Amino acid sequence: MNVECKYFGMIAEITGTASESLILNDASNIAQLDEQLKSKYHKLHFVSYQIAQNQQIADTHIELNEKDEIALLPPFGGG
């Protein structure tokens, strides 16, 4: 399965890119995708972020679909 991953803020710094097309080996849900990303980018273990699927924050059990847009979102500050 192929998904498009977008990275923002410190996540983009960790991955060294703002986006990439990612082929998922055995990942079928958000939790498995997260584990695959942490395996590829070890520093993700040490930062806080949320995962969005097709522009909506996703729970870990949500199933993935071919060509989903995935975004890793670091904490946002504001005021």
* Domain 2-73, classified CATH 3.40.50.300, yes or no: no
Q: Report pLDDT for 77.
A: 67
Name every residue whose Cβ is closer than 8 Å to that of residue 27 and which is 6 or more positions away in sequence: 1, 33, 35, 36, 64
The pLDDT tens digits of the residues spanning 28-55 come to: 899 999 999 999 999 999 999 999 999 9
Nearest to 68 by CA among 44, 13, 58, 78: 58
- Report domain extents, the chain: 2-73
Quote the CA–CA distance of 54 and 41 in Å, as a whole number: 22
Quote the CA–CA distance of 24 and 36 in Å, as a whole number: 8
Percentages (nearest 5) of helix, strand, coil residues in the chain: 30, 30, 40
